[in-house]
Amino acid sequence: MGLVDEQSSPREPAAASGKSAAFFDLDKTILAKSSSLAFAKPFYEGGLIARADVVRSAYAQFVYLTSGATHEQMDRMRAYLSALATGWDVELVKKIVAETLDSIVDPIIYEEAVQLIREHQAAGRDVIVISSSGNEVVEPIGERLGVDLAIGTQMAIENGHYTGEIVFYAYGTGKAEAMQRLAAERGYDLAQCYAYSDSMTDLPMLEVVGHPLATNPEAELRRLAEERDWPIIDFKKPVAMQVALERAESRKAAAKAVGGAVALGLAWYAGRRSIRPL
């Protein structure tokens, strides 16, 4: 058996009989918080946002953690972040994320999620993180996790600065559509694929695969999962990323190592929209 308790989760992923993938939401599924909102303090210290934005982000994080995210809240968050990021220097954003990522993300990783990622990889599946957070945050997190592809929300760039236009919002039906495009391109059988998310806003993502799993689900998704007899997973207290990674690696030390470099989610989508990569 894998790390996750048998009574609250599916059995350890079986070896794939055809080409398949496991799709993971990021916030409250792999991470215990919103990855975008977690960067409010370093963005403030880097001069990108004002103190009032830090307070607003902290409140939004509290609401997100205690009550989950509704479609209305996600739409407001999209508009807020779009307006906030307009004019930001792209290289400065990347520099701040690179310098602070480990300290921000390190304490909020779910060990069980990392173990599930490794189990899917051992079963021969691609692992793809798809999140509504910005790609400049999602992609480096995916790289540290060792996944095959990381796809986040992508904003248009002009003269090295964000314009405020969102060219791809990795949210709701947008996630499901991206998964279907990937399946067509890579030959995935979606009926054999897995999807993990905590939120009802990701229902399209969960419904497009044959193996949906409600992961740390909010109340509404938990009720729906029970009605549809979907497996429900509840992770425990998060740990440092390095601890989770080391434990996962030690568990598969005797198994064949899974090779392959991390693909860049932004490059994947930018190639289809002809936008300039971050």
Q: Delimit the domains of the chain by residue range.
A: 9-273
Tell me what pLDDT residue 249 has. 66
Mean pLDDT per block of 10 residues along the chain (278 residues) reads: 41 63 94 74 73 50 48 68 80 85 79 92 96 87 92 90 87 94 96 96 96 95 97 84 62 46 41 39
Tell me what pLDDT residue 66 has. 42
According to the CATH classification, is domain 9-273 in 3.60.20.10? Answer: no
Q: At 234, is the secondary structure helix, strand, or coil?
A: coil
Residue 38: C-alpha distances to residues 20, 29, 84, 209, 260 (Å): 32, 15, 15, 30, 29
Tell me what pLDDT residue 103 has. 77
Q: Which of 117, 114, 129 is nearest to 182 (CA)?
A: 129
Tell me what pLDDT residue 108 has. 83
165 near 187, Cβ under 8 Å? no
Tell me what pLDDT residue 47 has. 77
Tell me what pLDDT residue 274 has. 37
Residue with tokens 């070896």: 15
Encode 123-143: b = buried (16+ Cβ within 10 Å), e = exposed: bebbbbbbbbbbbbbbbbbbb
Taking residue 156's Cβ as centre, other Cβ atoms within 10 Å add up to 15
Tell me what pLDDT residue 11 has. 47
Q: Which residues are catalytic?
A: 25, 27
